[in-house]
């Protein structure tokens, strides 16, 4: 049963002068500079820093093509999401669009799956941040650091949306400056023009001098795809945050149009620098990690500590955004009656307190599972959320196929961002995502387990959604018959 979900409308004023509030109760507390940095930082997760060395080991220089393939897929998905978000900015983003275009069951299912993904990420990132902090200050145990980090960022999100935006502005800013400097300094060293560099500056030779560009064969590109695809999750956060910005349509349009260069510079640019500074099979990349090894090859002192600071910043940024994203999805589900009504209530500052506390509570529980049962309960949570990113992207594609017609019929003047070569490129993206899921099943091991467990969780959520819709429909029919008799 497809019904129109509640979407934000033009609002009046809050009790605070100059701060507009949409009719859903959220305040437009995010400035354009916040949205710009959230958009840029959204594609830079901790996975880029800590996971790239495994991808390089699996595919060699050909990992660049893996990043190109996944990057293209993300660009297309973001273009589709941007088309819908620019026309109808809302805190529920793709969940509300799926609700409208595919049916209540779709919006309910993908909304809860997305929430589940991010609250598990909270536990992963809190633990990663605690590991780094404990190595700096061993007197404080790891569990205490995880608790401190979660409490501080929960307080930030509870304060106001502008507090979240300000924290994320600086977190993302540090990541952007760090990677930008890394790419520039690295390229200077690659061509032997960096003063005082320890690197001999071999140009592009390292791309082919250790077994060629495809040392593991062309098929390794697909293996690389599986290893890098999840580091791109987070690009869509800007479309959820746009609903609380001063000019949602402008923010989404700008973020969508800039996603290509963001992926090109931050992902392709930085990995390209690593692969041209060092041979892909260098022991330094395996032992120290790709970025630390690259900085050491240039002669940057204390490279390990520098990267720890940057990775900690990326972890805190991911935690901050993860809590924000989970709470806003919970808020949207509450608005549509798909979650407790308390989730849809906001305080005087326009903050959905219950939605934030519920999200962080599950995050705290997941952190406990990670310490108590890391190889059983937490491993299940981790694997059962592993393929949710791909499910979300697939639903965005399917939703856009229907939403284009709805937007053209109802508000054609708001179709300011258009998916290229519609519908052919949309279908091609659906095929790409389906192929990746199929290859994960074929590959076996952890990828297969992630897909199967994620499909199991998704099936349970969908069954709940369908049963719930049918129960509501019967109750509604019974009520109509009673009132008519």
Output the pLDDT for position 482. Answer: 56
Lowest mean pLDDT of 126-140, 185-199, 225-239, name the range.
225-239
| pLDDT, tens digit (0-9, with 9 covering 90-100), for 408-425 | 999 999 999 899 999 999
Output the pLDDT for position 5. Answer: 39
pLDDT of 151 strictly over 50 = yes
Q: What is the secondary structure of 83-140 as a DSSP string?
A: HHHHHS--TTHHHHHHHHHT-HHHHHHHHHHHHHHHHHHHHHHHHHHHHHHHHH-TTS
pLDDT of 14 strictly over 50 = no
If 0-12 CB within 10 Å is exposed, 13-18 middle and 19+ buried, where does residue 141 land? exposed
Output the pLDDT for position 237. Answer: 82
CA dihedral 237, 239, 244, 248 (to 10 degrees): 150
Lowest mean pLDDT of 2-16, 254-268, 273-287, 423-437, name the range.
2-16
Average pLDDT, integer, range 131-148: 90
Q: Count other Cβ atoms within 10 Å, centred on residue 479.
A: 10
Mean pLDDT of the chain: 85
CA R_g for the chain: 23
Output the pLDDT for position 42. Answer: 64
| pLDDT, tens digit (0-9, with 9 covering 90-100), for 258-284 | 788 888 888 899 999 999 999 999 999
Average pLDDT, integer, range 352-375: 89
Helix or strand or coil: residue 30?
strand
Lowest mean pLDDT of 1-5, 112-116, 433-437, name the range.
1-5
Output the pLDDT for position 133. Answer: 92
Helices (H), 160-266: 161-190, 220-228, 237-241, 248-263
**Rounded-to-integer distance, Cα 223 and Cα 449, Å:** 15
Output the pLDDT for position 15. Answer: 40
| Residues 122/322, Cβ–Cβ less than 8 Å | yes
If 0-12 CB within 10 Å is exposed, 13-18 middle and 19+ buried, where does residue 131 land? middle
pLDDT of 483 strictly over 80 = no
């Amino acid at each position: 049963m497809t019904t129109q979900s509640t979407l934000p409308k033009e609002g009046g004023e809050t009790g605070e002068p100059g701060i507009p509030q949409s009719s859903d109760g959220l305040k437009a507390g995010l400035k354009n500079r916040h949205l710009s940095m959230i958009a840029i930082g959204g594609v830079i997760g901790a996975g880029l820093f800590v996971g790239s060395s495994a991808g390089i080991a699996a595919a060699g220089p050909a990992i660049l093509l893996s990043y190109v393939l996944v990057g293209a897929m993300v660009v297309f998905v973001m273009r589709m999401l941007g088309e819908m978000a620019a026309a109808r900015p809302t805190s529920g983003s793709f969940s509300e669009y799926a609700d409208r275009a595919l049916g209540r069951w779709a919006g309910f299912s993908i909304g809860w799956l997305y929430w589940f993904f991010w609250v598990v990420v909270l536990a992963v990132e809190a633990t990663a941040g605690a590991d780094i902090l404990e190595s700096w200050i061993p007197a404080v145990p790891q569990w205490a650091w995880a608790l401190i980090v979660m409490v501080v960022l929960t307080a930030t999100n509870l304060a106001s949306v502008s507090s979240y935006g300000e924290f994320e502005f600086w977190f993302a800013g540090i990541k952007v400056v760090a990677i930008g400097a890394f790419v520039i300094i690295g390229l200077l060293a690659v061509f032997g023009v960096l003063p005082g560099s320890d690197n001999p500056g071999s140009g592009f030779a390292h791309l082919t001098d250790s077994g060629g560009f495809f040392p593991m064969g062309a098929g390794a590109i697909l293996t690389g795809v599986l290893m890098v695809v999840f580091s791109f999750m987070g690009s869509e956060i800007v479309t959820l945050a746009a609903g609380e910005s001063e000019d949602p349509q402008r923010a989404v349009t700008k973020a969508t149009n800039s996603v290509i260069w963001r992926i090109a510079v931050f992902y392709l640019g930085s990995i390209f620098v690593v692969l041209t500074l060092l041979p892909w099979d260098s022991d330094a990349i395996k032992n120290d990690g790709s970025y630390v090894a690259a900085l050491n090859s240039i002669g940057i002192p204390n490279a390990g500590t520098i990267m720890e600071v940057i990775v900690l910043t990326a972890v805190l940024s991911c935690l901050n955004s993860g809590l924000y994203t989970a709470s806003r999805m919970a808020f949207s589900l509450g608005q549509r009656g798909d979650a407790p009504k308390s989730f849809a209530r906001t305080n005087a500052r326009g903050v959905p307190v219950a939605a934030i506390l519920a999200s962080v509570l599950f995050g705290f529980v997941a952190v406990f599972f990670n310490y108590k049962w890391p190889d059983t309960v937490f491993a299940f949570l981790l694997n059962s959320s592993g393929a949710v990113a791909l499910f979300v992207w697939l639903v965005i594609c399917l939703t856009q196929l229907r939403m284009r017609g709805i937007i053209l019929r109802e508000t054609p003047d708001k179709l300011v961002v258009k998916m290229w070569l519609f519908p052919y490129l949309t279908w091609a993206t659906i095929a790409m995502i389906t192929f990746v899921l199929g290859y994960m099943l074929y590959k076996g091991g952890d990828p297969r387990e992630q897909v199967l467990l994620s499909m199991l969780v998704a099936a349970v959520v969908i069954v709940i959604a369908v049963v719930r819709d049918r129960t509501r429909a019967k109750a509604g029919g019974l009520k109509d018959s009673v009132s008519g008799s």
